[in-house]
Amino acid sequence: MAVVSIDVKPKNQRKWLLFFAPIIGILGLWLASGWLVPSNLAPLTNKLQGLVTTFQGIFIEALPFLSAGVIVSVLIGEFVKPQHLASFVPQNAFGASIFGSLLGLLFPVCECGAIPTSRRLLRKGAPASMGIAFALAAPVVNPIVLISTSIAFGDVRWALARVGFTIIIALTIGLIIGAGIKREAILTPLALTPDVEHDHSHCDHDHGACDHTHEQPKGRLAGLIAHGSVEFFEMAQYLVMGSLLAATMQTFIPQSALLTLNDSGIGFFAPLLGIVVLMLVAVLLSVCSTVDAFLALSFLGLFHPGAVMAFLVFGPMIDIKSTLMLTTTFRRSAVMAMVVLAALFAIIAGLISYVVLI
C-alpha cells in the first residue's frame, strides 16, 4: 500500500497543477489587462503589468543563448565520440576541472547555453568535475564577455580580474564536488545516460541485405533537429519558470529596499554587507552575462568595487533561472552545494577586490 501511495501522490499533484494553473493564468491576464477590474485592485494591475514586461525582457534576452547552447549540445552529440573526448580531456579531477573552466573559450555560451552543453559532455563520458567547472565558468570565461566587460568599464583589468576569479572558483568547486564522489551521487539519471550511437545504415552485411525501412526520411539533419527540439523544450520549461520567478521577485521586492539595506552597514560589516546585497541583486535580476557588465557599471556610484566584482562573478554562476536549469543535469544536493560554495567564494573574491580596487 505504501508503494502505491508514493506513486499516486505525484500524479494527483500534477493533475491539480494542470487544473489550477490555467485558471490562475487567466485571472492573472485579466488583472494585468485592466479590463473591468475593480478600482481597489488597480494597484495590483500595475504590478502585474510590470511583472509581464519584466518576464518578457528576461525570457527574450535568454532565449537566443539557450538556442545557441542547444545547437552546440546537438553538434557535440553528433560529431564528438566518447573515445575522442577521452583522448584530450584529462581524466584526473584537477586537470579536468581546469579544462572545464577554460572550455568556454572554445564554446562561447552564457549560463543558459552552458548547462545543456555541459550535460551533453557528461553524457559523452566527461568527468563530473569538468562538467561542473564548465557549467559555472563558461558564462564568464568566453571571448564575448571578456570584450563586453572591457568595453563597459573601459579597463581590461576588470575583465581579467572577473575571469580570473571565475576560473579559480569554478575549478575549486569542480574539485570539491566532483573529486572522490561517485557520478551517480552528483548527476541526474538523464545526465548519466550515455549517448546512443545511431547506426543509419541498418544493413545486414553478413547476408548482403539492407533494411531501409527504419531510416529517417529526411536523413541526419532531421535527426539533429528532432534531438535538438526535445532538448530545447526540456530546458525551456525551466527557463520559463526561472524567468517568471525572477520577474515576480523584481516586481514585489523593490531594489530600493536592498539599497537601503546596503546603507545600513556599519564599520567592518559595511563592505561585507555591500557584497551580499549586490549578490542578491544579481540573483534577483538574472541578467545574461553578455550584457551584465553595463548594468554593474551603474552600481559603482552606490557600492564599492568589491561588491561590483562579486556581482560580476556570482550572478552568471548562480541566478534564479540558471539554478533551476542546473537541476536538469545535477542532483539537487549537488546544486545546493554549488550555490553555497559559489556564494562563499564570491564573497571572498569581493573582499579581495575591496582591498585591491578600493
The answer to whether residue 138 is domain-embedded is yes
3-state secondary structure at position 210: strand
Domain that holds residue 234: 14-30+43-194+222-357
The answer to whether residue 199 is domain-embedded is no
User: Residues of 51-66 as b/e, b for ≥16 C-beta within 10 angstroms?
Assistant: bbebbeebbebbbebb
Residue count of the chain, please give it.
358
CA distance 282 to 164: 19
pLDDT value of residue 38: 61
Query: Residue 192's CB: how many other CB atoms inside 10 A?
Result: 14
Note down pLDDT in tens along the chain; length 358 residues.
443 333 434 445 455 555 555 665 566 665 556 565 566 556 666 777 777 787 788 778 777 777 876 787 677 767 767 666 667 788 888 999 999 999 988 877 777 788 888 998 898 888 999 999 999 999 899 888 898 899 888 889 999 999 999 999 999 999 999 887 889 999 999 888 886 655 444 444 444 444 444 444 456 677 777 777 877 777 777 777 767 777 777 677 666 666 665 555 555 577 888 899 889 988 888 888 877 888 888 788 778 899 999 999 999 999 888 898 899 999 999 999 999 999 999 999 999 998 887 5
Q: CB-based contacts of 61: which residues, under 8 Å, 6+ apart?
A: 287, 288, 291
Of 341, 343, 342, 333, the C-alpha closest to 181 is 333
The answer to whether residue 209 is domain-embedded is no
pLDDT value of residue 42: 60
The answer to whether residue 309 is domain-embedded is yes
CA distance 319 to 346: 13
Q: Give me the helix-helix angle, 332-357 and 128-137, nearest 10°.
A: 50
The answer to whether residue 203 is domain-embedded is no
pLDDT value of residue 58: 74
120 touches 77 (CB < 8 A): yes
The answer to whether residue 55 is domain-embedded is yes
Residue 198 phi/psi, 5-degree rounding, is -85, 135
pLDDT value of residue 299: 82
pLDDT value of residue 150: 92
The answer to whether residue 261 is domain-embedded is yes
**Residue 345 φ/ψ region, left for φ over 0, alpha for ψ in the -120 to 50 degree band, beta for the rest:** alpha
pLDDT value of residue 300: 82
What's the structural domain count of the chain?
A: 1
Whether the model pTM is above 0.75: no
The answer to whether residue 279 is domain-embedded is yes
Of 163, 86, 98, 168, the C-alpha closest to 129 is 98
